[in-house]
Amino acid sequence: MFESLAQATGLKIYPRSVTEAGGTTYFLARGPQGKVLGIQGDATGFEGNSQLLYPLTPANAAALRTRLPWLTPVPLRLRTSAGCGDRLGLATPGHIRALRKVGGIAPILAQQSMRENARTLRTPQQVLDDAMWGVFQEGWCEPWGADADHLKTPTDIDICAAAGYTFYTVDPGDHVDNAAHSASLETLRAKFESLPWDELEDSPAALRARTLGRTFDLSTFTLEFDEASLLRAACKYGRAIAHAKRMYRHLAAVMGEQAFELEVSVDETETPTSPLEHFFIAGELQRLGVVWVSLAPRFIGRFEKGVDYIGDLDAFEAEVLRHVAVLHHFGSYKLSLHSGSDKFSIYPIVARHTGGLVHLKTAGTSYLEALRVTAQVEPALFREILDFARGRYETDRATYHVSAELRQVPAAGNLSAAALPGLLDQFDARQVLHVTYGSALARFGERLKALLDEHEEAYATALETHFVKHLRPFR
């Protein structure tokens, strides 16, 4: 059918997009002015002046979702899942090709934090619609999700709920008391008394009574709180738990009868979340009636942006075993790996011990693959981005846990064109390019997107190869 559509329109037709429903044919086409929606049949409710081709507007995306339900994100529940962040709005076709090749992984194809939205100058609605057009292009009819990532305020929830997100990652990290991790017992006692007990619907005496002196059997090991460990967990995470409760209840009220999923993330903190603290967080959330599908602790070791796990793998494996025992104790939810891109050494460990109860979250790695393609097809543009990133790194690194040394990243003029793509395999260069994405996109975004649009097949192929490496261990 797509051959006849190509003849009728004079445009390139994306074959997998061609869909017939209710006597009307829908397809995605590409012409000199970019991509357009094709509708052969009933086009009632779509905006545009043509009787066959329509612009990829938010209104037309919404109208198409009402016609083709598989274009609407849905909750993924306890299926093994992966979040595929896309800071450019062009990566979904490549992500889907990797998903098809590996099989068995439920994807979140729209995923961006409010911080990333601000830095990329995109809205939650744009992020979701860009993913949807990629889903349509590739004819992906399996369930997929949309993650409103790292939300910190009720207003963030409102914006993302209006856009149609189904997965909400609440980030109470600003309310975690990192100083409690090493505070003295005397200090902890004072902090403990000043926790927001009304918001926690609890009291110091009640928490002590139901926790101290008890042994909690987790099948493979037992947990016990003494006064110091209880107060440390409560002081470190008490305010964060109260905030997560407020966010969850606001979300539930906003969503009403619409299905949604909650992820609780405490990974962006200065100190690790011990299995005992994980147990405390889960127990308190459950007591407060919070329902969540995944939880992201701050694991031991270093989860730096764009590079492999840094730490002792044996110690990490032992810790994961205990975290998994905690999640099983409370009734299965998924263990979530944040800053999960490129952590190839730990994927087999996590996959083996979670038994599929895992969510992998990736983001900036797709942007780095975009730069790899840029280095291959337009070295001059990549040189500009590289030198600009080197100049921005010391400023832009402030909000990230990274350890790249700028002196290890050569200036563009010191490298041949053939050597440029190899920088995307070098530790320091990857991090420098990764954390400066916001500044780089503000200056080079339009040129970069135009280049990738022109070379969309090369970008999709690079992403497919890269994401197969991410997904295959979990299959």
Which positions are catalytic? 149, 263
In 288-322, which positions are buried (b, 16+ CB within 10 angstroms) versus exposed (e)? bebebbbbbbbbbbebbbbbbbebeeeebeebbbb
Give the integer Cα–Cα distance in Å for 177 and 468. Answer: 38
One-letter amino acid at 389 equals: A
Contact status, residue 51 vs residue 37, Cβ threshold 8 Å: no
Helix axes 364-377, 437-454, angle to 10 degrees: 60
Can you tell me the distance from the alpha carbon of 414 to that of 300, in angstroms, rounded to the nearest whole number? 38
The residue written with tokens 């004819």 in the block is 139
> Using CA atoms, how far apart are residues 8 and 10, in angstroms rounded to an integer?
6
**What does the alpha-carbon distance between residue 179 and residue 396 come to, in Å, rounded to a whole number?**
25
Instruction: Specify whether the CB–CB gap between 362 and 149 falls below 8 A.
Output: no
Bridge partners of 16, per DSSP, are none
Handedness of CA 25, 30, 33, 35 (dihedral sign): positive
Q: What is the 3-state secondary structure (H, E, C) of 161-178?
A: HHHCCCEEEECCHHHCCH
User: What one-character-per-residue DSSP string does 237-263 give?
Assistant: HHHHHHHHHHHHHHHHHHHTTS--EEE
Q: Which of 261, 341, 346 is nearest to 299 (CA)?
A: 346
10: phi > 0 → left, psi -120 to 50 → alpha, else beta; which? Answer: left
Q: Helix (H, G, I), strand (E, B), or coil: what is residue 108?
A: strand
Place of tokens 């057009």: 133
Gap between the Cα atoms of 288 and 398, Å rounded: 35
CA atoms within 13 A on the CB side of 324: 18
DSSP state of 420: S
Q: How many CA atoms lie within 13 A of 211 on its CB side?
A: 24
